[in-house]
Each structure stands twice: as structure tokens, then as C-alpha cells.
Amino acid sequence: MKLFYTPGTGSLSPHIALREAGLPFQLERVSLRTQKTETGADFQSINPHGYVPVLQLDDGSHLMEGPVILQFIADKLPDSGLAPAHGTLERYRLQEKLNFICSELHKPFASLVNAAYPEEGKRITRERLAQRFRVLEPTLEKSPYVMGERFTVADVYLFTVLSWCGYLKVDLEPFPALRAFQARILERPSVQAAMKAEGLLR
């Protein structure tokens, strides 16, 4: 498998998951500005949407959208415990969490990196993100992970999204449980290895 990635973006979450699962994979960096990969390939021909992550499977086909790729990786190695079994209520709970992170956290951050987006709109976005953080805070006050006592791909995704807060001036100071969660996940060897490979950690 090959993961098309851009450092510091949402592609960090499947990168971490691949390392967490111990699956063999290659990395190919993508310039979102030029829409070229590091080997000179036209990224638009790989993903017409023009964004990462994209996971190239062993048969040459491509899987897109972060939450889907995360579940695919988890299901490649069920014993990893990265996702509950298909058909269980817990699996639907995981999908519930992934959808929340994607729609209520990940997508709003996109407006904060848009230079054309007005400052008043960015202020409102930061307020809405704080509202969503207040929903998550009690869960992580009681449990080490999003799904409780079990580390899953939802934690990988949440960690990735929260890692943008400092750069985009989203205040995590009022949320000690979220900050503790970030520090806890950062300690995992898979997280450190992925971030070092992407040049995000020394």
C-alpha cells in the first residue's frame, strides 16, 4: 500500500494508524499547491478532489476520505483493536465519533487556513470549535480515549485535528482534558514515528 500525504494535514491520521497496525506501506508526498506528487505524478489524476489522504491499495486502486481509510486500516488487522467489529453497536459508536470529528471539527478548521475568509468568520468558527470541545471535554475527563478505555482510530483522528490548534490560534487552554489527551497520544511510538517521518518532530 502507498499513502499519499502532505505533512501536517489530515493525512497524518492514516499515517499514524498504518504504523499503529504494523502494516507495510510506502509514503508519497503531495504538494497541494502544485498538485504534483514527489515522483512527478499528477495528483488530480489520483484524486480529482485535490486533497489528501489517498491510500493506494495493492491492486493499484485508490481509497479516499480519511474516516473511511482509517476504518479500512483497522479492519486489515482486526487484532490491533483499532476498531470494534463490524455489525456491533460499538462499531456504530466509532463511526458516530469519526463523523463528529470530521464534520464538526475537521471541516471548520479549513476556513481558518483560507486567507480569503474574513476575520469575523474566523472568530465565529473558533467560537463554534470551542462549543464542540466542550462536548468532548467530559468524555476525556472520565476516560483516556474517545471510546473509553480502548484506543481506536477515533483517537488518531482527534489527535491530528487538535494538533492544528496552536498554529491556527484555537485556544485549548480552557480544556485541560483535551490537552492531557494530546500529550498522552503524543507519547505513543507510532505517533512519534509518523510525525518524525513527516518532519513534524525532531
The domains located in the chain, with CATH, are: 2-80+190-197 (3.40.30.10), 89-187 (1.20.1050.10)
pLDDT at 115: 87
pLDDT at 202: 81
Closest of 133, 159, 131 to residue 145, by C-alpha: 159
Please give the average pLDDT of every successive group of 10 residues along the chain, which has 202 residues.
Answer: 97 98 97 97 96 97 97 95 96 98 95 91 96 97 96 98 95 97 97 97 84
Q: Distance of CA 122 to CAs 55, 77, 129, 159, 174, Å?
A: 31, 40, 10, 21, 19
pLDDT at 72: 98
Whether the ω angle into residue 53 lies within 30 degrees of 0, i.e. cis, is: yes
Alpha-carbon torsion, ordered 146, 149, 150, 155, to 10 deg: 30
Residue 96: which residues within 8 A CB-CB, separation 6 or more?
A: none
CA distance 170 to 180: 16
CA distance 7 to 11: 8
CA distance 132 to 105: 7
pLDDT at 201: 87
**AA identity, residue 108:** P
pLDDT at 144: 97
